Amino acid sequence: MTEVDDIAPETDSPRISEDWLAVGCAALLLAVSFAGVWLASEHGDGTDGASIAVTNPFKAWLSKPTKWTESPVDSFVTTDEAGATSYGPVAGVLGVFAALSVLLSLAVQYRDGDGVRFLKGFVVVFLLATLAYTLAAQSVVKAYNLEYALWALMVGLLISNTIGTPAFLKPATRTEFFIKTGLVLLGAEVLMSRLLALGLPGVFVAWVVTPIVLISTYIFGQKVLKMESRSLNMVISADMSVCGVSAAIAAAAACKAKKEELTLAIGMSLSFTVVMMIVLPAIIKAVGMGEVLGGAWLGGTIDATGAVAAAGATLGDRALEVAATVKMIQNILIGVSAFGIATYWVTNVEADSNAARPDVMEIWRRFPKFVIGFVIASVLFSILHGTLTGGPELVDGMIKGSTKTLRGWFFCLAFVCIGLETSFRELLPYFKGGKPLVLYLCGQSLNLLLTLFMAWLMFNVVFKDFVN
Amino acid sequence: MHQETREVRSSRPLHRWSLLLVTLTAMWVIWCGVLPWVAAQPKMKQHLTFLDERGIDPSAMFYTELDAMDAILHKVDRTQSFTVAPTDHPEN
């Protein structure tokens, strides 16, 4: 595996680094989306507070294949109860293709002068991503938390491991670019105001336990298991302790993990999530644990956000609310985690043990710049959300109507590209000795115990009266 | 070794295409036959309806992808407190 295959920042670009290009593309998408929502919305006169009727003009033109049960055609053409046919989803998918193909081709042309070859390959990569999304949109598949990332990887792996990835697709397989752009878009969804949604108990469960588990698992992997790959160690630790696939993507990009390492971490996370979302509620019911405590435990331990909600709902509405809110607070931790991991990596892991500690300029040179874009997006939209008149409505309208959809497509495209560039043979060495599995199991066990203790302490002891 | 394997692969294009077609056929059978059948089973149908009614997408990657979060956040904002309001849960 060469450097080129790492999810790493590049600094030798002729015109602009890939990191800054990703930040620029995401910033443009965020700016256009927010401006569109701002201009299309009807602003009140302010006399009755934050009266605003939000409209996202892009919503109808940006979507992904919708949920289907009987026929995949329903993913693109829907029929309502009255029998009216809607081509909304197919128009939305075509809209995303048009927007991304123009933006990304121009970006690649500007950076590498390779826009036309990129566009030719991108048509097929986008079709494969659409197939992956359609596979993930089947209702039974969705019900078991088998996210699009898994199917995107599978679709790519299927091509690369059978007929081989055609040469004309190579210019469009820009995994790092897609991931970094998607992550900066994700930054706008990391709203700091959500942090105190559950008050201090939520902060303790989500923001105290999670870093402890992340750091402990990483140290355990290095000192006890002696894992050869620090980045694999870190990606699994982040994925298991923070919030599954999205945290794995951010951690992998921040610590420059190899694509195979991200693939392995996501595969393990999704597999264990399916088990945990069924087993944990059963245990909670069997021992007669309260809904609030059970919900907090689920929210702090099950990796995937959707799976947390599904598991919480089986316990009751209150458990669903607490579980989903704890997980949301953990979601916010992605930004801090990515920044912390990137800083640790450039100052410690990449530093030459024989050389002096890198100075500020060297740290800046090595630092993955997309993380800065991610943090700025998070801070900026948190401020807009918290201070602007009608800020929550405008920011939510932007996220739900456009940037969330585009972020999903960027990640889906990235996972298709990872699959297209990966051979099954290259994945096998990572299973050697079963260390990743042992790491995940030990880390998750610590997570389960520590989260249960903290949730009990916070919700049943310290803040018991407050909760009641 | 790697190059050798590639040469072996490239000398058997029919085998590679056959493998792809067989896999695609298997996927088609699973997604268009097996999974719709599973979805139609009463227990699964009940579970899917249960999730739909609550706005839960178990495959959501981030909280912004959960429709259920709207109601939860609205409730959090409304109570301006730390957790759910007990008065909204008379059954508790």
A 219-278: CB under 8 A from B:
243-246, 277
Residue B15 located in a structural domain:
yes
> What is the distance in angstroms between the Cα of B55 and the nearest Cα belonging to chain A?
10
Contact between B20 and A164 using a beta-carbon 8 Å cutoff: no
Q: Which residue has the higher pLDDT, B11 or A357?
A: A357
In a domain, B5, yes or no: yes
User: How many structural domains compose chain B?
Assistant: 2
Nearest Cβ partner for A324 among B16, B69, B83: B69
Nearest to A366 by CA among A228, A254, A461, A202: A254
Does residue B11 lie in a domain region? yes
Q: In the predicted model, what is the mean pLDDT of chain A?
A: 89
Indicate whether B11 and B26 sit together in one domain: yes
End-to-end CA distance of chain B: 66
Whether pLDDT at B1 is above 60:
no
Full-model pTM: 0.89
Quickly tell me which residue has 């929502």 as its tokens. A37
Cβ contacts of B65 on chain A, cutoff 8 Å? 305-306, 404, 408
Q: What is the pLDDT of residues A286-299, one digit of tens each?
A: 999 999 999 999 99
Picking from A139, A199, A202, the nearest residue to B48 by CB comes out as A139
Does residue B6 sit in the same domain as residue B21?
yes
Query: How far apart are the C-alpha atoms of A458 and A223, rounded to whole Å?
Result: 31
Tell me if A164 and B9 make a contact (CB, 8 A cut-off). yes
Instruction: Tell me whether residues B66 and A136 touch, CB distance under 8 A.
Output: no
* A159: chain B residues, CB-CB within 8 Å: 20
* Predicted pLDDT at A417: 96
Whether B61 is covered by a domain: the verdict is yes
State which amino acid sits at residue A341. Answer: I
The one-letter code for the residue type at A367 is: F
Q: Does A359 score more than 80 pLDDT?
A: no
Choice among A89-103, B1-15, B22-36, B44-58 with the minimum mean pLDDT: B1-15
Listed residue (A13, A4, A26) closest to A402, CA to CA: A26
Q: What radius of gyration do chain B's Cα atoms show? A: 24
Structure tokens at A429: 């060495």
Q: What is the mean pLDDT of residues A150-155?
A: 95
Q: What is the ipTM of this complex?
A: 0.86
Tell me the shortest Cα–Cα distance from B87 to chain A, in angstroms.
10
Residue with tokens 């996210």: A147
Is there a single domain that holds both residue B45 and residue B82? yes
Helix (H, G, I), strand (E, B) or coil at A138: strand
How many angstroms separate the Cα of A28 from the Cα of each of A97, A99, A172, A407, B26?
Answer: 16, 12, 21, 13, 42
Number of alpha carbons in the 13 Å side-chain half-sphere of residue A388:
18
**Lowest-confidence pick of A257-261, A358-362, B56-60:** A358-362
Spatial separation of the C-alpha atoms in residues A96 and A409, rounded to whole Å: 8
- Write down the pLDDT at residue A349: 84
Query: Measured between beta carbons, which residues in chain B are less than 8 angstroms from residue A145?
Result: 58-59
Same domain, B51 and B27: no
pLDDT of A46 reads 56
Residue B92 domain flag: no
pLDDT in tens, A415-465: 999 999 988 888 778 777 789 999 999 999 999 999 999 999 988 888 877
What single-letter DSSP state applies at residue A255?
T
Smallest Cβ distance to A197: which of B20, B44, B76? B76
Residues 6+ apart with CB under 8 A from A412: A64, A129, A132, A133, A148, A149, A152
- What share of chain A has pLDDT > 70, as a percent? 94
Asked if B48 lies within 8 A of A245 by C-beta distance, the reply is no
* Helix spans in A230-368 (H): 230-241, 245-254, 259-287, 291-301, 305-315, 317-344, 360-366
- Orientation angle between helical segments A245-254 and A369-387, nearest 10 degrees: 130
Closest CA to A436 of A172, A191, A235: A235
Query: What are the chain B neighbours of A198 within 8 Å (beta carbons)?
Result: 76, 82-83
pLDDT at residue A15 is higher than 90: no
Can you count the helices (H) and strands (E) in chain A? 21, 4
Q: Are residues B20 and B54 in the same domain?
A: no
User: Does A4 have pLDDT greater than 80?
Assistant: no
Read off the pLDDT of residues A110-126 as tens digits, 9 standing for 90 and up.
Answer: 998 999 999 999 999 99
Same domain, B76 and B52: yes
Bridge-based pairing of strands A52-53 and A42-43 is antiparallel
Residues B46 and B81 in one domain: yes
Is residue A159 pLDDT above 50, yes or no? yes
Per-residue pLDDT tens digits for B42-77: 999 999 999 999 999 999 989 999 999 888 888 877
- B50 to A313: CB separation less than 8 angstroms, yes or no: yes
Contact B68 A320 (CB under 8 A): yes
Tell me, yes or no, whether B54 lies in a domain: yes
In a domain, B91, yes or no: no
Choice between B23 and A86, residue whose per-residue pLDDT is larger: B23
Residue of B30, B62, B76 for testing the chain A interface, max A β-carbons within 10 Å: B62
What would the mean pLDDT of A370-379 be, rounded to a whole number?
A: 93
B46, B72: one domain: yes
Query: B45 near A289, Cβ under 8 Å?
Result: no
Q: Over chain B, what is the mean pLDDT?
A: 79
Length of chain B: 92
What's the confidence (pLDDT) of residue A13?
53
How far apart are the C-alpha atoms of A365 and A362, rounded to whole Å?
A: 5
Which structural domain range is residue B64 located in?
41-86
Rounded mean pLDDT, A212-236: 93
- CB-nearest to B76 from A140, A146, A325 is A325
| CB contact (8 A) between residue A140 and residue B16 | no
Enter the DSSP assignment of B33. I
A and B: number of Cβ contacts within 8 A: 161
Classify residue B3: in a domain, yes or no: yes
| Residue to test with chain A: of B41, B64, B75, most A Cβ within 10 A | B64
Partner B contacted by A30 (CB < 8 A): no
Residue A447 parent element (H or E):
helix A435-455
Q: Are residues B5 and B29 in the same domain?
A: yes
Task: Please report where in the chains the tokens 């790491």 appear, as a residue.
Answer: A439
Shared-domain flag, residues B21 and B56: no
- Residues B33 and B46 grouped into a single domain: no
B-facing residues of A in 183-222 (CB < 8 A) are 186, 189, 194, 196-202
Closest to B86 (Cα-Cα) out of B75, B71, B74, B73:
B75
**Longest Cα separation, chain B:** 72
Same domain, B57 and B29: no
Q: pLDDT higher for A100 or A196? A: A100
Q: What is the per-residue pLDDT for A199?
A: 75
For residue B83, the model assigns a pLDDT of 45
